[in-house]
Amino acid sequence: MDMWCRYLRGFLYFTGINFLLTFVASILCVCFAPTAAGPGIPEIKAYLNGVDTPNMYGATTLFVKIIGSIGAVSAGLDLGKEGPLVHIGSCIASLLGQGGPDNYRIKWRWLRYFNNDRDRRDLITCGASSGVCAAFRAPVGGVLFALEEVATWWRSALLWRTFFSTAVVVVVLRASIELCHKGKCGLFGEGGLIMYDVSDVTVRYNVMDIIPVVIIGVLGGVLGSLYNYLLHKVLRVYNLINQKGKMYKLLLSLSVAIFTSACQYGLPFLAKCTPCDPSLSDVCPTNGRSGNFKQFNCPKGYYNDLATLLLTTNDDAVRNIFSTNTPLEYQPSSIIIFFALYCILGLITFGIAVPSGLFLPIILMGSGYGRLLGILMGPHTNIDQGLFAVLGAASLMAGSMRMTVSLCVIFLELTNNLLLLPITMIVLLIAKTVGDSFNPSIYEIILHLKGLPFMDANPEPWMRNLTVGELVDVKPAVVSFKGVEKVANIVNALKNTTHNGFPVMDCGLVPTTGVANEATELHGIILRAHLIQVLKKKWFLKERRRTEEWEVREKFTWVELAEREGNIEDVAVTKEEMEMFVDLHPLTNTTPFTVLESMSVAKAMVLFRQVGLRHMLVVPKYQASGVSPVIGILTRQDLLAYNILTVFPHLAKSKRK
């Protein structure tokens, strides 16, 4: 009876600590920085694709991400710190590039050179690659992750910049580990840069070993796509719950924490005690913070293999199940329970209001069925069970996230065994191919659920049969300005529309050649931010006339024109000023990207994405007298596949056929 009371007190202590840690992480996300919840990688992908999520890279988000990630991981939830570290790296890069938080920015002159969209995008890319490097201690893998998964536009200069960033991260990690090597920093100084070292294992395989490798690749693709499908359903339910209010978000997180703690503490009672092998050099059993043999409820000289996997940190759980030369350490029933539990926890934990990553839950699930397959195929293959667990984790990550090159390098840097390269490549390619035949990657699913207008690299085939002229015909008429426009017309257009770009046209011109009829010239396109700057500066003219270039330079600086902040509601214009004029010629971009109305939507979408445009002007194929030189403007929202299908439902039928 005393023994059960002791177990009950242990359960209450274990669950209470996890409950408190989850409460701290969740309350910070719910009340202070909702954008800090989740991994942050989909939003980073969207930003580097051209979509800026508000409050995604602020100082508050960074603080909540750090504290919340520590609390959530310490609470034993089935989530990783890898995704949050990518977001943390991007937040640090963004804050450094813009000189600090929005309210307390440092206005040093040299920082102004980074105050543009391209440099901020490059800095966030470097921050994301540094986050992957810090999480997996894989510098080359971090660079390839940024290239393959995160970045949309890649330049040669960005390659060495991301490589330099990850090199600095590795040097700092190495120095910190050396300083903490004697145990002064807890477990931080143990293990070096290689997290799951299997370099001492001699990897031997022959032609027949390709069969289990192919099987594990196919299983990874099928299970990865199934995981994406089920997670999509769970996240839709979570969205409905989270929309009800902050209290529901908090209760959902705490419920998952209690369920996780109950399973981790209660399920090891189902496992049988295993006697320790006296030939092993490791201490058995152990009850410390790390160790491969947990005693739990077993007598002296015995260990509980399921407690070894569940009652430990996530990193140690991966390290234990990846352990090689231990064919009899884990019973098949314990591995089955471990795999089933983390499949359930992986589905219900992601999506709650705490910082969370997807890498570690998928690694835990994949290593579970990889180890099971290793137990089944043991008599028929030369590959170690621990290596089967590594291949299983790689296959499930490729089947869910659809990464290949960066994932292969990350696993090689994690395991420190180059002999795994051929079979790892085969597993990743098979898993990705199988997964692609069922559904998109998990990050694309999350982007769609969040409503972020992410533009894919490849247009749909049916887009070739639709022209941009047909697309702009169903849109409202384009709002344009004259070269010298009345202030009242500008204010009304800014208040009554949400457009960010307006064509500027000069009417009543006589062409230098051809028929001497009055024509309309497309002078260019002007941004909403520049119009707001004009209204704020009161740069008005009493008569309708053109201005000189020196007049503009006296009134505006390039730093002011680079700012994208401002709201028309904050600008006060008097009745007398409404009747005045503004010369828009000096502030107009005279070289906008234009396409003919006969161009296909597929071709326009490729151009829009590769150049990184925000606006694309559609011009008529035939210019007649009295016809506007611009028939419409295409934006990112107009070129998204699901938006086009809502406007042209008949295309959805042809797509299904």
> Which of the four pLDDT bands, split at 50, 70 and 90, describes residue 281?
low
Token look-up 């030939």 returns 279
Rounded to two decimals, the pTM is 0.87
> Which of the four pLDDT bands, split at 50, 70 and 90, describes residue 95?
confident
Lowest mean pLDDT: which of 38-52, 182-196, 239-253, 433-447?
182-196
- Pick 535 or 143 by higher pLDDT: 143
> Which of the four pLDDT bands, split at 50, 70 and 90, describes residue 495?
confident
List the structure tokens of 284.
């058995």
- Pick 647 or 168 by higher pLDDT: 168
The 10s digit of each residue's pLDDT in 358-396 is 998 999 999 999 999 988 887 777 788 888 899 999 999
CB of 257 within 8 A of CB of 19? yes
Cα–Cα dist 553/363, whole Å: 57
Cα–Cα dist 375/334, whole Å: 12
DSSP alpha helix (H) spans, 350-420: 359-377, 385-401, 405-415
pLDDT at 168 over 90: yes
> For residue 512, what pLDDT is reported?
47
Which residues, 6 or more positions from 600, have their beta carbon under 8 angstroms from its beta carbon? 463, 464, 465, 466, 467, 468
Domains of the chain: 1-189 (1.10.3080.10), 207-248+271-450 (1.10.3080.10), 461-654 (3.10.580.10)
Phi and psi at residue 284, to the nearest 5°: -140, 125
pLDDT at 290 over 70: no
> Which of the four pLDDT bands, split at 50, 70 and 90, describes residue 200?
low
Q: List, as own/partner pairs, every contact residues 169-177 make where C-beta atoms lie below 8 angstroms and the sequence separation is at least 24, other chains included.
A: 169/130, 169/133, 169/134, 169/139, 169/142, 170/133, 170/137, 170/139, 173/134, 173/137
pLDDT at 260 over 90: yes
> For residue 516, what pLDDT is reported?
47
pLDDT at 511 over 60: no
- Pick 64 or 201 by higher pLDDT: 64
Cα–Cα dist 455/210, whole Å: 38
> For residue 118, what pLDDT is reported?
81
- Fill in the DSSP letter of residue 124: H
The 10s digit of each residue's pLDDT in 562-612 is 666 677 777 788 888 888 888 888 888 888 999 999 999 999 999 988 888
Alpha carbon 105 to chain centroid, angstroms: 26
- Pick 4 or 336 by higher pLDDT: 336
Mean pLDDT of 207-218: 87
> Which of the four pLDDT bands, split at 50, 70 and 90, describes residue 625?
low
Mean pLDDT of 493-516: 73
What percent of the chain clears pLDDT 90, i.e. is strictly above it?
37
> For residue 510, what pLDDT is reported?
45
The 10s digit of each residue's pLDDT in 13-62 is 999 999 999 999 999 999 999 999 989 999 999 999 888 888 888 889 99
- Measure Cα distances from 351 to 90, 191, 391 in Å: 21, 31, 27
pLDDT at 473 over 90: no
What percent of the chain clears pLDDT 70, i.e. is strictly above it?
87
Give 441-474 as a DSSP string.
-HHHHHHHHTT--PPPSS--GGGGGSBHHHHHHT
> Which of the four pLDDT bands, split at 50, 70 and 90, describes residue 199?
low
Q: Is 86 exposed, middle or buried (0-12, 13-18, 19+ CB in 10 A)?
A: buried
- Pick 108 or 369 by higher pLDDT: 369
Lowest mean pLDDT: which of 160-164, 277-281, 326-330, 487-491?
277-281
Cα–Cα dist 205/212, whole Å: 11
> For residue 324, what pLDDT is reported?
77
**Helix H or strand E encompassing 486:** strand 484-486
The 10s digit of each residue's pLDDT in 551-575 is 777 777 766 666 666 777 777 888 8
Q: Give the mean pLDDT of the chain.
A: 85
> For residue 542, what pLDDT is reported?
83
> For residue 645, what pLDDT is reported?
75
List the structure tokens of 434.
């199988």
Mean pLDDT of 347-353: 93
Q: How far apart are the first and last CA of the chain?
A: 68
Mean pLDDT of 201-220: 82
> For residue 558, what pLDDT is reported?
66
Cα–Cα dist 444/228, whole Å: 10
> Which of the four pLDDT bands, split at 50, 70 and 90, describes residue 137?
confident
